[in-house]
């Protein structure tokens, strides 16, 4: 193998695949990066067996070939520090690699490529595509409710509820639930639910080009995302996602509705977060005609009271919330104003965007002490 490439192309590719390099794995080869030189590009791949990421970098291939660089993370650090010009990578001693730059070189140990795990099949039962911008928005909005609970791995994922061309994404940590709905292009009419790790979905969303299509393939144990020169393959999380449909409150159950400017609410809550230091980050919101009165306090720090102008319909109501949960919604909301619909001070309420009915955030209030 002998190739020439530009540092920026190589750096872009290694930084993407670096997310899949295992640091705890007992198989030494999984600490490595597979390099394949063929045609006009260098293919780089890493995997920890839960995810595999592959990316192509444009290259001038003098001699095709492949090998695994043993210490993938160190290779990325080295590429980062290389001068900004042409890089030559060449195979020496069967499986070591020479990194040649300017008139200098670095030699790194390697493995034979045959030992590196194969990329799982990219052709699944469901093949679909969705515009990068739509996919990224749906994933980022849904992921806020996914949990970090390793005891219940299903809650660390985003559930894809697929019905033909209708795609719903759902996540919950049992205190709140997000549901985003969208359309993707597919020939499949299948009705299926699969759970993909939220972290992988976010990595794909962050990488997706807004104007390009994300091609998605779902098989019985993998989900594959293809965007231009990059492929993500993720193992699905096995288990039964809780039935989310009964959680969604019926429209007729709401007795109170608030319409408020996102920026005003967000700024007030950020100030309150500096004074609400209990375990639940409690903030009290008193909904009154024309306003929300926000209060928070921590005995040994101090207290805050703010009045936020808002359009409120219904009887006056005092509700306690974990302010972090509200801020999470506001961070991923794209509209200028937001709605809060409530049916009581202990029952789930719904937050939604002014101009987007396809994003629903269900949030439980806190039980306030007297």
Partner 1 sequence: MALRNEILALEDQLNQMLDRLQELRIKVDSMEVQNARLLERLSVENIRSEGLEELTKLYNEGYHICSTYYAQNRNGEECLFCQSFLKENM
Where does this chain bind partner 1 (CB under 8 A)?
152, 155, 172, 174-177, 242, 246-247, 279-280, 346-348, 362, 364-367
DSSP 158: E
Instruction: Using the minimum distance from each CB to partner 1, give the nearer residue, 75 or 325.
Output: 325
166/253 with CB nearer partner 1: 253
| Cβ–Cβ under 8 Å, residues 37 and 66 | yes
DSSP string, 298-347: ETTTEEEEEEEEEEEESS-EEEEEEHHHHHHHHHH--SSEEEEEES-SSS
- Rounded to whole angstroms, the maximal C-alpha distance in the chain is 79
- CA-to-CA dists, residue 7 to 81, 102, 209, angstroms: 10, 12, 22
Distance of closest approach, residue 2 Cβ to partner 1, in angstroms = 55
SS3 state of residue 217: strand
The count of other CB atoms within 10 Å of the CB of residue 102 is: 10
The CB-of-280 to partner 1 minimum distance in angstroms stands at 7
Considering the complex, state which of residue 138 and residue 155 has its C-beta at the smaller distance from partner 1.
Answer: 155
Q: How far is residue 188's CA from residue 309's CA, in Å, rounded to a whole number?
A: 48
Q: How far is the CB of 254 from partner 1 (least distance, A)?
A: 15
CA–CA distance, 86 with 6 (Å, rounded to integer): 5
Smallest separation (angstroms) from partner 1 to the CB of 242: 6
The b/e string for 275-299 (b: 16+ C-beta within 10 A; e otherwise) is: ebeeeebbbbbebeeebbbbbbbee
Shortest Å, Cβ 157 to partner 1: 13
Cα–Cα distance measured from residue 179 to residue 143, given in angstroms and rounded to the nearest whole number: 10
Contact 255/342 with Cβ under 8 angstroms? yes
Q: What is the CA radius of gyration of the chain?
A: 25
- Considering only CA atoms, which of 112, 99, 103 is closest in space to residue 70? 112
CB-wise, 225 or 361, nearer to partner 1?
361
Which is closer to partner 1, CB of 246 or CB of 290?
246
Residues 6+ positions from 175 with CB-CB distance below 8 Å: 322, 325, 363, 364
Q: Tell me the closest approach of the beta carbon of residue 25 to partner 1, in angstroms.
A: 29
Percentages helix, strand, coil for the chain, rounded to the nearest 5? Answer: 25, 45, 30
Give the shortest CB-327-to-partner 1 separation in angstroms: 17
Of the pair 11, 247, the CB lying nearest partner 1 is at 247
Distance of closest approach, residue 153 Cβ to partner 1, in angstroms = 12
- Residue 279 makes CB contacts below 8 A (sequence gap 6+) with none
The whole-angstrom separation of Cα 352 and Cα 355 is: 9
Residue number, 187 or 240, with CB nearest to partner 1: 240
Q: Give the residue with the Cβ less far from partner 1, 72 or 348.
A: 348
CB of 155 to partner 1, least distance (A): 8
Nearer to partner 1 (CB atom), residue 59 or residue 366:
366
């Amino acid at each position: 193998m002998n190739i020439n490439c530009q540092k920026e192309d190589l750096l872009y590719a290694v930084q993407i695949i670096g997310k899949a390099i295992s640091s705890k794995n007992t198989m030494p080869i999984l600490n490595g990066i597979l390099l394949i030189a063929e045609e006009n590009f260098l293919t780089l791949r890493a995997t920890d067996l839960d995810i595999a990421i592959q990316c192509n970098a444009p290259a001038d291939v003098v001699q095709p070939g492949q090998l695994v660089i043993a210490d993938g993370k160190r290779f990325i650090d080295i590429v980062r520090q290389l001068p900004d010009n042409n890089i030559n990578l060449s195979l020496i001693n069967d499986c070591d690699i020479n990194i040649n730059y300017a008139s200098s070189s670095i030699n790194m140990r390697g493995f034979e490529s045959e030992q590196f795990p194969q990329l799982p099949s990219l052709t699944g039962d469901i093949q679909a595509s969705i515009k990068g911008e739509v996919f990224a928005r749906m994933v980022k909005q849904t992921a806020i409710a996914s949990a970090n609970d390793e005891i219940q791995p299903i809650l660390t994922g985003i559930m894809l509820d697929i019905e033909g061309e209708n795609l719903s994404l759902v996540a919950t940590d049992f205190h709140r639930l997000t549901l985003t709905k969208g359309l993707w292009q597919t020939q499949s009419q299948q009705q299926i639910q699969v759970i993909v790790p939220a972290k992988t979905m976010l990595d794909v969303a962050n990488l997706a080009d807004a104007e390009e299509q994300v091609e998605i393939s779902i098989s019985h144990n993998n989900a594959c995302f293809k965007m231009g020169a990059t492929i993500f393959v993720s193992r699905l999380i096995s288990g039964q996602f809780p039935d989310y449909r009964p959680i969604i409150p019926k429209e007729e159950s709401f007795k109170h509705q608030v319409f408020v400017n996102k920026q005003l609410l967000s700024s007030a809550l950020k100030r309150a977060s500096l004074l609400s230091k209990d375990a639940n980050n409690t903030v009290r919101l008193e909904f009154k005609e024309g306003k929300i009165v926000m209060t928070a306090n921590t005995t040994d720090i101090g207290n805050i009271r703010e009045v936020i102008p808002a359009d409120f319909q219904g009887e006056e109501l005092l509700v306690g919330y974990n302010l972090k949960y509200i801020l999470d919604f506001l961070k991923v909301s794209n509209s200028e104003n937001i709605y809060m619909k409530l049916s009581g001070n202990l029952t789930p309420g719904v937050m939604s965007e002014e101009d987007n009915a396809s994003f629903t955030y269900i949030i439980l209030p806190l039980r306030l002490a007297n």
